[in-house]
Amino acid sequence: MSTDTGGAARAAQGTALAIEDLTVGYGGSPVIGDLTLTIPDGAIIALLGANGAGKTTLLRTLSGLVTPRRGRVLLDGEEIHAVRVEDRVRLGLAQVPEGRSVVAELTVAENLQLGALWRHRDRARRREAVDEMYDMFEPLARRRTSFGHQLSGGERQMLALARALISRPRVLLLDEPSLGLAPRVVAQLMTVLRETAERTGLTILLAEQNVTSALSIADRGVVLSLGEIVADLPAADLAADPALRHAYLGF
Ligand SMILES: Nc1ncnc2c1ncn2[C@@H]1O[C@H](COP(=O)(O)OP(=O)(O)OP(=O)(O)O)[C@@H](O)[C@H]1O
Ligand SMILES: [Mg+2]
């Protein structure tokens, strides 16, 4: 057996991320209330809901940027809700925040090397990891010496995603990666996510306003409303059934 377990190797049929009775607020009344959600290994979950439903708050709580008032978060059965953000990354939890943050003053290659620092201390291994990302995201390979600020929106989103993937996370949290991108680029992005999940067993929690795109690659659709889960359904059902769509997604 290989001893390099990477982010991909995992017990079959296990739970990647467990959220238990999670309550989160910013001072006033809770924005997330008693939320419980189990995400199996290798699943892609579309996190849906109107503006202000609590999607970003949930992702930021999972990644450690927001502290919950109550409840637990477990990654592979290990409590992580009190663990520091950077330690959660080391444990295999990566977030691509809203707004596709890349370092504008660094080149594509430098941005990726920065991401690889989480995983490899060895320079040659880092270079290998960067090359792996170039294989996966061809447009980035062509732009490797371009600075972050010179990239298009789609290229920036790809770079943000590649920088998260280079740490070989077990669980990837994505906040509206399709925002502001052309439909063709969104489709490319979704395909990369699906293929990566299938190839590596990566688990993905994908918050999206672009419901159709998210459901096209997701296994389940979880709909939030005012910080509560109002629906948790197979993505195909939610996408195809007009009554369900109308009831939970408003279209
Ligand atoms: N930093 C903050 N301080 C206070 N309230 C906040 C903060 N961030 C979010 N909120 C409030 O929490 C609620 C949930 O917001 P959140 O950003 O999590 O929703 P969302 O589902 O991501 O919305 P969107 O689709 O617009 O991104 C909203 O009522 C919002 O006003
Ligand atoms: Mg949001």
**Domain layout of the chain by residue ranges:** 15-101+170-249
Average pLDDT in the chain = 91
Question: How many angstroms does the Cα of residue 223 sit away from the middle of ligand 1?
Answer: 15
Amino acid type, 234: P
Assess contact for 149 and 105: CB atoms under 8 A. yes
pLDDT at 170: 95
pLDDT band at 8 (very low <50, low <70, confident <90, very high): very low
Nearest Cα to 56, choosing from 239, 238, 179, 195? Answer: 179
CB 54 near ligand 1, within 6 Å? yes
Tell me whether strands 171-175 and 93-96 are parallel, antiparallel or unpaired: parallel
CATH superfamily of 15-101+170-249: P-loop containing nucleotide triphosphate hydrolases (3.40.50.300)
**Assigned token pair, 77:** 């059965």
Starting at the edge strand that comes first in sequence, how are the strands of the sheet with 15-24 ordered?
32-40, 15-24, 70-75, 78-79
pLDDT at position 4 over 60: no
pLDDT at position 165 over 50: yes
Compute φ and ψ for 209, nearest 5 degrees. Answer: -85, -25
Instruction: For a ligand 1 pocket test, name from 23, 47, 55, 98 the mutation site with the most ligand atoms within 8 angstroms of its C-beta.
Output: 55
Per DSSP, the residues of 189-238 read HHHHHHHHHHHH--EEEEE-S-HHHHHHH-SEEEEEETTEEEEEEEHHHH
Regarding predicted confidence, which is higher, 5 or 235? 235
pLDDT in tens, 101-153: 788 999 999 999 988 887 788 899 999 999 999 998 989 999 999 999 999 98
pTM of the predicted model, to two decimals? 0.92
Question: How many angstroms does the Cα of residue 58 sit away from the middle of ligand 1?
Answer: 9
Q: Mean of the pLDDT values across residues 208-233?
A: 97
Nearest-CA residue for ligand 1 atom 16 is 54
pLDDT at position 10 over 50: no
- Dihedral of the CA atoms 85, 88, 89, 91 (nearest 10)? 160
Nearest-CA residue for ligand 1 atom 1 is 26
pLDDT in tens, 25-48: 999 999 999 999 999 999 999 999
